[in-house]
Amino acid sequence: MVLMEITTHLRKMHTSLDEQGVAQYILPVFDVLENTGSYSMNSLVGEKVSIHFEGEINCVESGVKIKKTFGEGLSYAVWLKSPLASPSIIRPELSRIHEGIALRDFDWEQAHHNQPHYTYLSRTSGIKVGVTRLTNKVSRWIDQGATEGIVLAEVPYRQLAGLIEVALKDHLADKTAWQAMLKNEMTSRETLLNVKNQMLDLLPPEFESFFSDNDEITQISYPVLKYPTKIKSMKLDNINQFTGILSGIKGQYLIFDDGTVFNVRSHAGYKVKFEFAG
């Protein structure tokens, strides 16, 4: 059996749903800013995997070497001005590009935020409300580790989806309880369709016309052999090498059989070497 290596400056894994409803994970391979290939991570589940931190971090937008990342793999200087760190990323209700007003980058916000969006419900452990572009729905649910999702409202631009989300935050969570998600603990058994119908009664009248009549529920399963009962989060700033049996992948986390979990997305820009038997 040959020992294989992949060295990459990390980015979040690309995700999709196969015909059986199983989340598929592809790791993009980068040499600083150059995309040099990709690798299917599903094939590593059940295998012994080593992660080595090469001691180098590069900003995912400028490529400069940095000691610490801000946002998702950005240098501090880039984080201050990049549209990837725009306030309307975290708080969609702040977007104003539909009015012709950009918070950071006019062209980028036109392409990403002045576009049709969904306000949705998903089940991670409990049921949460969130916002995403029409073209990003399923990958958004997979990234957060949701086991199912449903469209609540369809709107023409991002701010409106965010305002609907804000209107429902008193009734639903808008954050993922990530440890419960990784343990596959379900804190609510109520159906998404029932909750969706309850939200219609709670929506302010000005948003009711955007309520979606699409009641299809997308079911998502994950390549996980065993869920942990205790979670140990690994940060490469504190440990530069780890070896374990990869027992699954959920959200943007690699889950190992001893309960160690590694968030790939939060390590964007870190140069790492994966070793495994091929």
Interval 186-222: pLDDT, tens: 888 899 999 999 999 999 999 999 999 999 999 999 9
Interval 60-84: pLDDT, tens: 999 999 999 999 999 999 999 999 9
Residue 32 predicted with pLDDT over 90: yes
Mean pLDDT, residues 103-110: 97
CA atoms within 13 A on the CB side of 134: 11
Q: What mean pLDDT, rounded, does the chain reach?
A: 95
Residue 176 predicted with pLDDT over 90: no
CA 95 to chain centroid: 20
Residue 278 predicted with pLDDT over 80: no
CA 205 to chain centroid: 31
Residue 277: its pLDDT value, please?
82
Residue 2 predicted with pLDDT over 70: no
Residue 173: its pLDDT value, please?
85
Residue 1 predicted with pLDDT over 60: no
Residue 174: its pLDDT value, please?
82
CA distances from 31 to 7, 146, 204 (A): 8, 31, 49
pLDDT more than 70, % of the chain: 99
Angle between helices 192-202 and 158-168 (to 10 degrees): 90
Residue 107 predicted with pLDDT over 70: yes
Which tokens belong to 138?
Answer: 């399923």
Mean pLDDT, residues 19-24: 97
In degrees and rounded to multiples of 5, residue 199 shows phi and psi of -65, -30
Which tokens belong to 3?
Answer: 């020992």
pTM above 0.75, yes or no: yes
Interval 226-255: pLDDT, tens: 999 999 999 999 998 999 999 999 999 999
Whole-angstrom distance, CA of residue 53 vs CA of residue 230: 24
pLDDT more than 90, % of the chain: 92
